[in-house]
Structure 1
Amino acid sequence: MLKLFEGPSIIYTVLGLVVFAAALLPRLLRRAPISMPMVFLAAGVLAFALIDYLPTPDPVKYETATTHLTEVCVIISLMGAGLALDRPIGWRTWSTTWRLLAIVMPLCILVFAVLGYLFLGLGIASAILIGAALAPTDPVLASEVQVGEPADGEEGFDREDEVRFGLTSEAGLNDGLAFPFVYLAITISLAGAGASSLSWLPQWFAVDVLWRIGFGVLLGYGTGKLLGRLFFSSRRESFRLSNHSEGFVALAATFLAYGVTETFEGYGFIAVFVCAITIRAAERDHGFHRVLHSYVEQLERLLSVVILVLLGGAIARGLLETIGWTDVVLALVLLIIVRPLAGFIGLLGGPPGVREKVALAFFGVRGIGSLYYLGYGLSNGQFDAEANEVWAFVGLVVALSVVLHGVTATPVMLTLDRLRSRKAGKDDRDSNVHV
């Protein structure tokens, strides 16, 4: 009987309950103003506050483990996002995405960095790192405002409303496109006093911008084309994996695209997403995409639960102990004012209506991608003096984003869906009258 109350027994029991909760909560909370990330973040806070013998999940102390765990979660999420998109890529069809990437994200990075420098007292390198880490919309924690599973041929393009499509495609690409700014922060931190000479600028632009982005796109596309043929067009029946319900090959595609691209110093995040949309384009209406997406989604959910519980544990054990009112106010400004305003400016003149523009601008969710970028930047640059402060602020912003966007996502999206359905019904009635 006493064995029930021993540490390992309790941990295994809690793990089992957590996994069951990860399976049930998305259905139970479907129409509630509470998100799954909120529940598991709170669970992590409670667990580590009440169970003393659990080791402290300090992201500074366990920097390497933090970086790799979040890295795996993000690339798996990127594969799922790419497979879920029904809309063929194009200049006009993806115009909302291009605006979010080319205008909104750089504007957010700039303003976030300036505010961090002015109000947090950070150095230029640390301020840029915070801007690069917090600007991208997260592909993991934004599931409530993203498209669902891949549609079949009967549903297709019209299923993707502009808000869900825009946020999903933005999250798929901006994680990779923010990387040059992470490298910019690393480069400035390593240059130290010599950073003002700008002698590092040509190499940064040639390697970290042109080379790495170019190879990310190229190798992602090449891997996707190769795997698309293997999945759907192979002459040998045993190699045509679309004839078999083996969803775990999505994991192989994810690691292959990421590993090959990183080997050639390209951006693996970009490669994984490009690989996914290329595989989807190979046979757009095939049911195998749902099998692949379902497997990736389940794995992503499990990993995100682990990371959220650990983040909650870090908060319970003092991650935010250096946070003051200035930090809290600035974090809220970033979430409630800067991203929404930058988003609305970037979308002016674009195809979405006003309500859709507001939703697209507001739901720039911060999450696990931010934690990865921060861990990567701190482990590769010289930020030792400010590491704890930077982790505390980014952890605060992510936690606030989980709560703020978790509370608002379901009500807002349900309202937009009702309005869209009402408009579609009115258009159908008007067309019948004219006929």
Structure 2
Amino acid sequence: MTADLVYVVAGAALLLAVVLPALLDRYAISAPMVLVAVGLAIGFTPLPDGLPLDPQENRATIEHVTELVVIVALMGVGLAIDRPLELRRRASWGRWSTTWRLLGIAMPLGIGAIALLGWAMGASVAVALLLGAALAPTDPVLASDVQVAGPQTGDHEVDESDELRFTLTSEAGLNDGLAFPFVYAAILLATEGALGLEWVGWYLVGKVVIGVAAGILVGRVLAYVAFRSSSRSLRVAERGESLLALAALVSAYGVGEIAGGYGFLSVFVCAMTFRSAERSHDYQAAMHEVAERLERLLTLFVLLVLGIALSRGLLEALDWRGVVIGVALIFLVRPVTGLIALSPMARREQPPLDRGQRWAAAFFGVRGIGSIYYLAYAAGEADELAADWLWSTVAFTVVLSVFVHGVLASPVMRRIDA
């Protein structure tokens, strides 16, 4: 019976994924909002009886499902970015200035602010730090309304011209992997009681470098095979076999993890590396479409299940502390840290963000599936980090972000575009 219910839920999510984008195009309502609401409604009926919804009993399943959703989204995001990043050209790094500021200033400040708030409310240092780290990354899964539409191809110079959407997209692509060192810091505090040089040398630097290197390696190998192989049967770009996108994301993630790096970084860097080869080729758009469609299907399924879980006890442990943390993150911590990072006094990016774009980039720090993954991962490493309060707080924050950012994304972006 449980397996049958899973099929029913999956079928409903797939159907809604197909019809919702066109139906909601004219309204300030996003598909994630509808899926969570539908899930909430289903949860109050007898239908979900028997579904594996308890995060404590189904932690491993939650971890692997959300992990898959995130890596699929990262592949789509990496393929969608048109602006090149050439490691040996300083000017190329400068055109990513807004991204580096959000990653290097806004994200650490956000982690510290949430961790300090959680600690001040009575959480242990490890729990507070995990909360800050899990809620730190902006989500490439749920932020499609404020991100770039997809790769430009054809016989023209390819570059990303929408600075706001580029900033939000590139930030979401990179900070999922860069939040991992702080998750490990929470795990080490919970299991060993202290942090040492090992955390700095290995978790903060070493695993990042390995993850990036693995992504570059896999991306270059696959690009060579797809576009330049001497064997015609291996040049899949000529046949338009876009399922290579799936092979790329699982290969990059696997190689990155086996090598000891951060697989999330490997997937995004692999997609960026592949995108840099034959940038004007239509095959890039075909691969992006496959990743985008799969991401949409998986995301809406997860959100439907999340909505059901909300009305089936996921928020039972939520208290005023969790509400304060979620509201503070969405309305105060992210906007303030984002504005600090993008402040005119510190800003040197080319082209610059104007005032409205800075406010939008600071506000639209969408939280989502990645936060659930990090919590599930950490909960499997230390019992202290598996508290029901953490699950309730993260779930509340994700849902709050889905509705707040979902309502505001379309009208705000239309006004800025105009």
- Compute the TM-score of the two structures, normalised by the length of structure 1: 0.89
**Rounded Cα–Cα distance in structure 1 between residues aligned with 2:378 and 2:206:** 19
Task: State the one-letter code of the partner of 1:68.
Answer: H
| Compared CA separation, residues 69 and 43, structure 1 to 2 (3 A) | same
Higher helix share: 1
Match of 1:239 in 2: 234
Match of 2:82 in 1: 86
Task: State the one-letter code of the partner of 1:222.
Answer: L
User: Match for 2:297 among 285, 302, 306?
Assistant: 302
| Compared CA separation, residues 156 and 142, structure 1 to 2 (3 A) | farther
- Counterparts of residues 139-218 of structure 1 (less than 5 Å): 139-153=140-154, 157=158, 160-192=161-193, 195=194, 200-218=195-213
Question: Are residues 1:105 and 2:100 paired?
Answer: no
- Compute the TM-score of the two structures, normalised by the length of structure 2: 0.93
Match of 1:68 in 2: 64
The answer to which of 265-274 and 17-26 deviates more is 17-26
* Contact 2:158–2:280, Cα closer than 8 Å, also in 1: no
**Rounded Cα–Cα distance in structure 1 between residues aligned with 2:9 and 2:94:** 48
Q: Which segments of 5 or more consecutive residues in structure 1 lack a partner in the other structure?
A: 1-5, 419-435
Kindly state the Cα deviation for residue 12 of structure 1 after the two structures are TM-superposed. Answer: 5.1
Match of 2:338 in 1: 343
* Contact 2:9–2:304, Cα closer than 8 Å, also in 1: no
| Compared CA separation, residues 231 and 237, structure 1 to 2 (3 A) | same
**Rounded Cα–Cα distance in structure 1 between residues aligned with 2:2 and 2:388:** 30
Task: State the one-letter code of the partner of 1:184.
Answer: A
Q: For residue 323 of structure 2, give the secondary structure of its aligned residue in structure 1.
A: helix
Task: State the one-letter code of the partner of 2:171.
Answer: E
User: Match for 1:96 among 95, 98, 102?
Assistant: 98
**Rounded Cα–Cα distance in structure 1 between residues aligned with 2:135 and 2:24:** 27
Q: Deviations over 1:140-193 (max 9, x none)?
A: 01111111121114575565411110011000000001100000000000013x
Task: State the one-letter code of the partner of 1:234.
Answer: S
Kindly state the Cα deviation for residue 48 of structure 1 after the two structures are TM-superposed. Answer: 2.0
Q: Deviations over 1:114-162 (max 9, x none)?
A: 011112x211001111101101100101111111121114575565411
Count the aligned residue pairs: 405
Task: State the one-letter code of the partner of 1:379.
Answer: G
Q: State the Cα RMSD in Å.
A: 1.8
Kindly state the Cα deviation for residue 11 of structure 1 after the two structures are TM-superposed. Answer: 6.6
* Contact 1:116–1:122, Cα closer than 8 Å, also in 2: yes
Q: For residue 55 of structure 2, give the secondary structure of its aligned residue in structure 1.
A: coil
Match of 1:117 in 2: 119
Match of 1:378 in 2: 379
Match of 2:284 in 1: 289
* Contact 1:172–1:273, Cα closer than 8 Å, also in 2: yes
Q: For residue 192 of structure 2, give the secondary structure of its aligned residue in structure 1.
A: helix
- Counterparts of residues 381-400 of structure 1 (less than 5 Å): 381-383=382-384, 387-400=387-400
Q: Deviations over 1:255-304 (max 9, x none)?
A: 10110110011000001000000000011111001110111111111111
**Rounded Cα–Cα distance in structure 1 between residues aligned with 2:244 and 2:397:** 35
Kindly state the Cα deviation for residue 20 of structure 1 after the two structures are TM-superposed. Answer: 2.2
**Rounded Cα–Cα distance in structure 1 between residues aligned with 2:129 and 2:72:** 26
Task: State the one-letter code of the partner of 1:220.
Answer: G
* Contact 2:219–2:271, Cα closer than 8 Å, also in 1: yes
